């Protein structure tokens, strides 16, 4: 139904370029090109490539321009066996806050913002790391924002490891509450790993940039799209996301070394400016305008041809 609706709308306003924001709309983009000659710019993220490899390959093959949100995503695209006609790397953007002034928390605060619906996000590893963190930072508190079907299991795991009193599962919160915790936290941690079964995991990790926009250092797994979002030793720390000891050491280090945490946080704030939405929108706009140029020239040639034919007659 979505593809049919897209084609109906396109036939009304007759676009020169189609921006297909997900591979599920790639059939509509192809149909629009056949009907109107509109060139295709196709977005790719990560998970959808492993979930629908045949459709991903079709979308990549048909696109005039492919946009991958990270180097990792670009690799997943080529792993389908398709070499796109052209491909750009354009990351997602981040909203730069109007007020990123830090707020004081009652305790050393570790923050995670993520759905608790996919195991690869690393909540289980953080639970296993927490006793080791507490050995160095006894008052640490883990604030978990997000909800999902795996939440009861993660909470039970926290009880099993004896760290439930150091955890606060807030579930889904308002943007204002989330931003308040980003201002209060000492760091953000989401040690995403690569999931099993051929699926992709983190295509980029916007939350790392969101934390950076508030001047917070981040901890991420050294795999997948996080490699584009986090520069190790610059705005955060990359670790083996399957190793609770490595995760714990990195967290404790950031909580105890305020100079290091401050330096990484300041660099994260500067980095977020380079990924601000107006910057990213400008890059996407440039790609669309490049694709628009051939169509515009073709229409001009057709108009001149029709005018010459009428003059000759």
Taking the CB of residue 220, how many other CB atoms lie within 10 A of it? 29
In 3-state terms, what secondary structure has residue 213? Answer: helix
Distance in angstroms (rounded) separating the CA atoms of residues 34 and 236: 47
Distance in angstroms (rounded) separating the CA atoms of residues 201 and 120: 7
- Do 223 and 196 touch, CB atoms closer than 8 A? no
Start-to-end CA span in the chain (Å): 46
Tell me what pLDDT residue 4 has. 86
Averaged over 21-31, what is the pLDDT? 96
Work out the mean pLDDT of the chain and round it to a whole number.
Answer: 92
For residue 124, give the nearest of 224, 193, 196, 223 by alpha carbon: 193
Q: Say whether pLDDT at 24 is over 80.
A: yes
Tell me what pLDDT residue 294 has. 58
Our CA angle for 266, 90, 208, nearest 5°, is 35
Distance in angstroms (rounded) separating the CA atoms of residues 307 and 155: 73
Q: Say whether pLDDT at 200 is over 80.
A: no
pLDDT confidence tier of residue 201, bands split at 50, 70 and 90: confident
Tell me what pLDDT residue 183 has. 97
pLDDT confidence tier of residue 300, bands split at 50, 70 and 90: very low
Tell me what pLDDT residue 282 has. 96
Domain ranges within the chain, ordered by starting residue: 2-93+276-308, 109-271
Distance in angstroms (rounded) separating the CA atoms of residues 102 and 128: 28
Residues 48-97 pLDDT 10s? 999 999 999 999 999 999 999 999 999 999 999 999 999 999 999 999 99
Residues 206-252 pLDDT 10s? 999 999 999 999 999 999 999 999 999 999 999 999 999 999 999 99
Residue ranges of alpha helices (H) inside 43-111 are 47-51, 53-62, 71-78
What is the number of residues in the chain? 313
The CATH number of 109-271 is: 3.40.50.2000
Beta-ladder partners of 88: 67
Which structure tokens are listed for 297? 């020239």
Distance in angstroms (rounded) separating the CA atoms of residues 54 and 61: 11
Superfamily of domain covering 2-93+276-308 = Glycogen Phosphorylase B; (3.40.50.2000)
| DSSP tag of 84 | -
Residues 250-291 pLDDT 10s? 999 999 999 999 999 999 999 999 999 999 999 999 999 999
Do 2-93+276-308 and 109-271 agree at the fold level?
Answer: yes
Residues 154-197 pLDDT 10s? 999 999 999 999 999 999 999 999 999 999 999 999 999 998 76
What contacts 241, CB < 8 A, 6 or more positions away? Answer: 122, 125, 191, 192, 193, 220, 221, 222, 223, 247
| DSSP tag of 95 | P
For residue 67, give the nearest of 29, 2, 19 by alpha carbon: 19
| DSSP tag of 186 | S
Tell me what pLDDT residue 311 has. 54
């Amino acid at each position: 139904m979505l593809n049919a609706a897209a084609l109906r709308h396109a036939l009304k306003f007759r676009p020169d370029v189609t921006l297909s924001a997900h591979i599920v709309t790639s059939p509509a983009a192809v149909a629009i090109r056949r009907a109107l000659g509109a060139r295709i710019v196709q977005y790719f993220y990560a998970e959808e490539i492993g979930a629908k490899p045949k459709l991903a390959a079709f979308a990549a093959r048909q696109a005039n321009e492919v946009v991958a949100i990270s180097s990792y995503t670009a690799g997943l695209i080529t792993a389908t066996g398709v070499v796109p006609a052209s491909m750009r790397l354009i990351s997602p953007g981040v909203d730069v806050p109007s007020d990123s002034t830090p707020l004081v928390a009652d305790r050393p605060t570790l923050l995670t913002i993520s759905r608790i619906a996919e195991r690869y996000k690393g909540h289980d590893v953080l639970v296993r790391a927490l006793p080791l963190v507490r050995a160095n930072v006894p008052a640490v508190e883990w604030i978990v924002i997000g909800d999902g079907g795996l939440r009861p299991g993660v909470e039970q795991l926290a009880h099993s490891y004896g760290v439930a009193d150091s955890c606060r599962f807030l579930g889904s919160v308002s943007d204002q509450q989330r931003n308040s915790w980003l201002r209060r936290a000492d760091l953000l941690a989401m040690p995403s790993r690569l999931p099993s079964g051929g699926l992709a995991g983190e295509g980029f990790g916007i939350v790392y940039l969101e934390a950076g926009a508030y001047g917070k250092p981040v901890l991420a797994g050294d795999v997948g799209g996080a490699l584009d979002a986090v520069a190790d030793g610059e705005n955060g720390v990359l670790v083996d996301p399957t190793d609770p000891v490595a995760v714990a050491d990195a967290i404790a280090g950031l909580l105890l070394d305020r100079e290091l945490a401050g330096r990484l946080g300041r660099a994260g704030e500067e980095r977020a400016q380079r990924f601000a939405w107006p910057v990213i929108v400008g890059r996407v706009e440039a790609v669309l305008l490049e694709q628009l140029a051939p169509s515009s020239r073709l229409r001009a040639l057709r108009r001149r041809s029709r005018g010459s034919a009428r003059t000759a007659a």
